[in-house]
Chains A and B, each alone.
Chain A
Amino acid sequence: MLKKLVFAFVIGITSSAIAQEEDLLALVNEPEVGNVKVFATFKTTKIVNAQSIETVKKGDLDFRITHRFDDIAVGGSGHTMWGFDNSMDIRYSFDYGVTDKITLGLARSKYNELLEGYAKWRFLEQTTNNKVPVSIAAYTNMGFTPKDKALIYSGVDKSVTQKTAHRFSYFSQLIIARKFGNWFSAQIMPSYHHRNFVKYAINADNNAEETNGIVSLGVGGRIRFTKRMALIVDYFYNVSKYRQNNKANPFYNPLAVGLEIETGGHVFHLNFTNNGAISETNFIPNTTSNWLDGQFKFGFNISRVFSF
């Protein structure tokens, strides 16, 4: 018995001595590092065409200027300096971080003279220990076009009642994103777009009519190849029978690739897209140009964040 106790005594001494001399830091119960929220899944609030999972930080204002020029590689495009003489769309936007998770924004586009108000709420955040494997955000956007009536109703039967409500369109989506390691991020975006007013049209090849609502599935990704540069890609697949194999009025799904350059405070995007329009409300239903026909455009985006 005594032996055992002496033994325990010795163990007690040595273990406390070890704890004291060699492993002080092991005594600290610091919050587990593995359990932190993943940040910078994407670098800005948009990928190229698509909204990204990112929101603006609380109290910050993200001012964005986006440009799309004209087709680069169609016949005669040399006369417009490969599209640079024309601007298909220009968009200015202001995104404000109400909280770290909620962003409200306003924007104005040249295309359809579109005025937008939108909100994004990132309600789930991926954690580094994978307890939460993805981040999820909800994005919703309301658009209003102040276009001249004659333009909105051109080619429309006179008997159609003209309403202010016809000027509104909506876009909503869920953004599910994951950052894989430090160099690759991806997201998918089930989306729904609704226009209050569409002109009657029919696809002669499958007898499908144009619809007010269009469901689409977007995918996007970012590959960082240096600390400050990344390749960005996004694509929307539109589930619209009217747009499928429409030989008389062909439609294409918007595909965008870009180079992202981050300088700290500023983020620059240099993009190529087949769609001319910048806002979802415009490019989801109206993309009629095809990458394979050389109908892709150069575009750029500048994002500048102001902190208050």
Chain B
Amino acid sequence: MKKIVLLSAVVLFSLASKAQIFMAKSAEISFFSEARLENIDAKSVTGKPIISVKSGAFEVQVSMNSFKFKSGLMGEHFNETYVESHKYPHAIFKGKIKDNDKIDYTKDGTYDVLVEGNMTMHGETKDVSATGKLTIKGNQILVDSKFKLKLADYKIEVPTSKLANIAEEVDVTIKATLEPLKNK
């Protein structure tokens, strides 16, 4: 009897703690560059943001070569000469939701949040803060955030001849629907 109680306590505990972690069921990470001659926009659906409810940690990793462009050649140039994805395959953001304790994850509601952390891309790590909306709806967390990145911060060089085609600052958008992580 004791055994069973303890065993179920172990199982329940680990289940409960896993439920503190939410992972994206679907996510869309995109960036947009607006320059004089052309607009570039690319989208990736492979990155899966994760939120730890208890600590307010927000993390996401995305493969550079998962970004899809309108033109295949753009994607090739992006990977080969700009972000050099063979050397730096991922962009990683690790941050914390500010005032996480004020968010009640058990009730439906929408919060304007500030996420502070750092972003690693192209071998460079820089502090980044982003504002966004966090919506709790039933068993799901919806994330919607937009922030700017300076290419120069990550040593992504744009030759002067391409300045009319590529903006020095790009808008990054993250939209995701997160669900509690199930025990594997």
- List chain A positions with a Cβ less than 8 A from chain B: 1-2, 5-6, 8-9, 12-13, 15-17, 19-21, 24-25, 27-28, 30-31, 33, 36, 39-40, 57-60, 97, 100, 128, 182, 227-228, 262-265, 305, 307
Contact residues in B for A1 (Cβ distance below 8 Å): 3
20 further A-B pairs in the complex, CB-CB below 8 A; given A9-B10, A263-B161? A5-B10, A16-B18, A20-B17, A20-B54, A21-B52, A24-B50, A25-B92, A27-B21, A27-B50, A31-B46, A39-B76, A57-B72, A58-B72, A100-B72, A128-B86, A182-B87, A228-B81, A265-B73, A305-B73, A307-B71
**Least CB distance, A7 to chain B, in whole angstroms:** 10
Contact residues in B for A262 (Cβ distance below 8 Å): 81
B72's nearest neighbour on chain A, judged by CB, is A57
Bound-state Cα–Cα, A307 to B92, Å: 31
Q: How many A-B residue pairs have CB under 8 A?
A: 103
Out of A27, A57, A59, name the residue touching B181 (CB < 8 Å): A27
Out of B59, B63, B80, B162, name the residue touching A25 (CB < 8 Å): B59
Out of A25, A57, A228, A264, name the residue touching B61 (CB < 8 Å): A25
Are B65 and A28 within 8 A (Cβ)? no
Contact residues in B for A17 (Cβ distance below 8 Å): 17
B80's nearest neighbour on chain A, judged by CB, is A40
Q: Tell whether A33 pairs with B3 under 8 Å between CB atoms, given A12-B13, A28-B50.
A: no
Contact residues in B for A9 (Cβ distance below 8 Å): 6, 9-10, 13
Bound-state Cα–Cα, A30 to B18, Å: 19
Are B161 and A20 within 8 A (Cβ)? no
